[in-house]
Structure 1
Amino acid sequence: MEPTSPPEDWKPQPARSGADVRALTLSAEEGFLLSRLDGATAVRHLPALTGLSGAQVGTLLARLVAAGAVQPVAVPAVSRPTPLPAAPRIAPLGGAASSAVPRIAPGVTAVRAAAAVPAPPAGAHAAAAEPPSARDAGSSEAGAEEASAGSASAHDASARDAGAEHASAHDAGAEHASTEDAGTDEAVAEEDEVPDASGTLRRLFEAELHALSADERTARARGAVEPELSALCFDPLPAVVRALLENPRAGLVQARLIARHHVTAVGLEAVGGRPAFAADTGVRRWLARNPHLPVGLLRRLWGMRRLLEQYKLMVDRDIPEQTRRGARELLRTRFASGPAEERVELILRTEGRALASLSGLPVDGRTAALLCGRTYTSVLLLQNLARWSAAPPQLIAHLLRQELVRRQPQLRTQLQRHPNAPAEARRG
């Protein structure tokens, strides 16, 4: 009969040192294979180690085991499962023991209570009809399944609770963020809001107050309360506006209404002449957008503002053209006499766009030094500086040394052709 092939993972080991292997009669192949066995090499690696085929290795190993030269394959002992202890029977409600009541594996009741899963009533009669051993095994399996289900249910419930808690926290955070955003938006909107979106105040003035004489409206403006206080802001007479501003109840709301809707230079001067109102961003914004803004008030309000603020006023499309022209004159005047730091800020923050409105205006050495102390990485800024007719020679030389200009032949050529470019820069 053909010998059975040994397990591939078996690591054959020679007989103990006490055995007399030399007394055995072995063939050359058997002796050769025996010399390669060390107890650490598995059977599947022996063909590659010895050059023999797998079948030859199996046959030779069987002979060596039969001759006592190799220890036989160790058969692992099969451990018999320990039977589960019999669960105590549960007495019926009447107090007497009954064999019809099924046995319940230990711990099942606790798991059901923890998982809040009621016991299935359908299995009671079937369990009673089974023999005791079958009932014990069935109860054990049912207990294990219910314990697993109970653990899974408890885990799922915990996960759901944790997820719900996380979702609640996330929703609360989102709601808090939305509240903060809404509060910020409301604060910004409230700053510029003029309470006349529906035209109610204007209709009140036209329906009830406009029919009064100028003296009566002026007298009522000095002591008016809401809503007449805000409705009188639509009065076209500057005397009424001046009287309204003397009212102790008048505040920024009324000042913004007048700045937006009043039609005379005298009335607008009355609003802009009060420092508390002139310092308000909303009042200045509505005055700038009012087409009746006088040039003198424009100069007083924006003449000493920063260059960047004057530039923003000049490019604002919501401002009348005549006011934008006045802002351009203010910008040029301020640029010629303002601090060097403001000049550099204006050029850099606008990426040189403001230079188109400043043609012909030179800069001092301080401004040139600040511009030469920077590294330039914006192509648009470099292009605008190259078009700037008043760019100082040291700035042109500094720009030609920039890495971005070296990689842009067109920029380098444009700077080399600049009228203020140094002679050595043109040759380079």
Structure 2
Amino acid sequence: MTWKPRPREGVDHLALPLDPLQGYLLSRLDGTLDVPALASVMNLGEDQVTAMLGRLVALGAVASAVPLARPTAASPVQASPEPPSEPVPAEPEAATTEDTETAEARMGSATHRQLFEERLHARPVDERAALARAAAEPELSACCFDPTAEVIRALLENPRTGTLQARLIATHHRTSAGLDALGARAAFAGDDGVRRALLQNPILPPALFRRLWAPRRLLEQYLVSASHDSPEQIRAMARDLLRSSFNQRTGEERVELILTTEGRCLMGMQGLTLDSQATALMCRRTYVSTLLIQNLARWSAAPPALIAHLRRQDIVKRNPVLRQLLERHPNAS
């Protein structure tokens, strides 16, 4: 039976160390697409998709493809022992461990918040800042819930402060000055958990967002702009950054963004264009995705050469709706 991968239930995918392509592939899994279909959607080779699925299985994000072996029927002439069933590999423990750690972190977070509210919050700010500079656990993590930037800056000077505390600050702190102080620490700003938490923090300063995500690939910026886990103001910042970054990147990277998202990114690219290099790369491909062609046909800046190339595709010749869309394009000759 053809494997149609689906995500494992009960797994916190945000806690897994996924790169943008793995995250996008995981978002497309619903149990109805097999590997060839996923390769077409992703505009990647089947070997690449298979390797990425193997990585997702190893991380515990996707259920294993190995079915339970069925015993063979005994011979009617001579009974023979049934061949042993192939051992079913145990489900990876990575996700279970991750779930356990996440649950423990949440329980610890609640305990530390309670400690701060009951024992620390009533103290003067100067006293809390002095405590934060030299605190050890559990007061160290409790100080992460302090609402003042002064205490957060003092906490970041504490040599005991690590990524656990940095993630708590990124998640719960609500002042721009405090988050800027966190982002100024390269070791913390480069942590994936800190970055994910910042993307869900509605107080994330625009300057800090641009500094952290401007060097990232266009696809990563797009995934932030389309994420349902981020507040709208952060998605808006990501859309603005994506637009400003688009024409500054190589043709290969722009083509990667368009193909990987099946043209969904083009909705926010009105007024932007493709240069000759990117157009040539787009025109070298054979197109089989209806959605991608529709999105390209609705993009008013699609170059004339690309529109002409799309009109020659077999899928367009067989589809009157696609033909009509392309014929009406302002750059159709």
Do they superpose with TM above 0.5?
A: yes
Alignment of 1:37-116 (within 5 A): none
2:205 equivalent in structure 1: 294
The answer to whether residue 259 in structure 2 is matched with residue 366 in structure 1 is: no
Query: What CA distance in whole angstroms lies between the structure 2 residues aligned with 1:183 and 1:189?
Result: 10
1:3-402 to 2 correspondences below 5 Å: 159=81, 166=84, 170=87, 173-174=88-89, 177-178=90-91, 181-187=92-98, 190=101, 194-196=105-107, 199-402=110-313
Partner SS for 2:212:
helix
Instruction: Kindly indicate whether the alpha-carbon contact (under 8 Å) linking 1:259 and 1:283 is maintained by their aligned counterparts in 2.
Output: yes
Which residue of the partner structure matches residue 18 of structure 2? none
Could you list the per-position Cα deviations for residues 139-164 of structure 1 after superposition, in whole angstroms to 9, with x for gaps in the alignment?
A: xxxxxxxxxxxxxxxx99x95xx87x
TM-score for the superposition, normalised by structure 1: 0.56
Aligned-partner SS, 1:204: helix
CA RMSD between the two structures: 2.3
Measured in 2, the distance between the counterparts of 1:193 and 1:276 equals: 24
Q: 1:324 & 1:400 partners in 2: Cα distance?
A: 34
The counterpart of 1:409, out of the listed 295, 308, 320, is 320
Letter in 1 for 2:161: A
Aligned partner of residue 338 in structure 1, secondary structure: coil
1:260, distance to aligned residue in structure 2 (A): 0.6
1:194–1:257 CA contact under 8 A, matched in 2: no
The secondary structure found in structure 2 opposite 1:337 is coil
**Residue 185 of structure 1: how far off its partner (Å):** 4.5
Partners of 1:346 and 1:406 in 2: how far apart?
Answer: 26
Which structure has the greater CA radius of gyration? 1
CA distance in 2 between partners of 1:193 and 1:375 (Å): 49
Answering whether residue 314 of structure 2 is matched by residue 419 of structure 1, we say no
C-alpha separation between the residues in 1 aligned to 2:259 and 2:179?
A: 35
Task: Give the match's secondary structure for 2:288.
Answer: coil
| TM-score normalized by the length of structure 2 | 0.72
Aligned mates of 1:187, 1:198 — CA distance in 2: 16
Letter in 2 for 1:255: A
Residue aligned with 2:254, SS? helix
Q: Which runs of 5+ in 2 are unaligned?
A: 1-77
The whole-number CA distance in structure 1 between the counterparts of 2:296 and 2:283 is: 12
Which residue identity is paired with 2:244? T
Tell me how many residue pairs correspond in the alignment: 256
Moved more, 231-240 or 212-221: 212-221
Give the secondary structure class of the aligned counterpart of 1:267. helix
- Identity across the alignment (%): 56
